[in-house]
Amino acid sequence: MAKNNQKEKVKGAEKTCPACGTKFLCLHNQDCWCMDYSLSAETLAFLRKNYDDCLCPPCLSKHGLPVNDPSGSQSRN
């Protein structure tokens, strides 16, 4: 049986950031770029209270740090 050499396309959804209006790709927890950010419980609560959908990469980066950030500090609102 021959193997299919085509790469499976990543399925996602184009969303509009509720904070700035920028369009971006959301991968719905399928190894999404947003999983690379660490948010404090307080920051996550703030985002959930103030936005009804995902933020774009630049807006999310204002609230959280990359998981591999060596500083170990956390952005606060």
Answer whether residue 18 shows pLDDT above 90: yes
Position 69 scores a pLDDT of: 55
* Over residues 29-33, mean pLDDT: 79
- How far is Cα 30 from Cα 10, in angstroms, rounded to an integer? 8
Answer whether residue 45 shows pLDDT above 70: yes
- How far is Cα 17 from Cα 24, in angstroms, rounded to an integer? 7
* Over residues 70-77, mean pLDDT: 46
Position 9 scores a pLDDT of: 58
Answer whether residue 8 shows pLDDT above 80: no
Predicted structure pTM score:
0.67
* Burial class of residue 64 in the structure, from the number of CB atoms within 10 Å of its CB (0-12 exposed, 13-18 middle, 19+ buried): buried
Position 1 scores a pLDDT of: 46
